[in-house]
Amino acid sequence: MKTLSQSLRSFIRSLDKECLKRLSPQDRELKQIEFVVELAKMGIGIHHGGLLPLMKEMVEILFQRGLVRVLVATETLAVGLNMPARTVVFVDIKKHDGEGLRVLRAAEYTQVPKV
């Protein structure tokens, strides 16, 4: 996969620095911060409920600006956001609903971002 240009990587670094200013010094040392930023520099984003809200926000901004070419996400991305994607791949048709696994409903498929 072709990586992002130097100017786009610079933009990501500046966005990263702005986001990091909003974190506590302790949170800045978390491995997920480094991991998300390094992936973003390659045009890859991850988005799931276990990420710090600030990291999810950063990935959303990059995705909306077209700087994330591949995004691996749970349904957290689809809920309440208008972020169309060219291609969506479902890894599984089941999800955990707090009580156990169940098959996705039709509405959950249609809620997924599309172009």
Q: pLDDT of 6-25, one tens digit each?
A: 777 777 777 777 777 888 88
Which of 45 and 114 is assigned the larger pLDDT?
Answer: 45
For residue 101, tell me if it sits in a domain. yes
Q: What is the end-to-end Cα distance of the chain in Å, rounded?
A: 22
Query: What pLDDT shows up at residue 115?
Result: 42
47 in helix, strand or coil? strand
Please report which helix (H) or strand (E) contains residue 94, including its range.
Answer: strand 94-96
Domain count across the chain: 1
Distance CA 59, CA 5 (A): 17
pTM, to two decimals: 0.73
pLDDT for 51 beyond 80: yes
Q: Which domain holds residue 84?
A: 6-110
For position 29, which CATH number holds? Answer: 3.40.50.300
For residue 115, tell me if it sits in a domain. no
For residue 1, tell me if it sits in a domain. no
Q: pLDDT of 52-91, one tens digit each?
A: 888 888 888 888 888 888 888 887 776 656 677 777 777 7
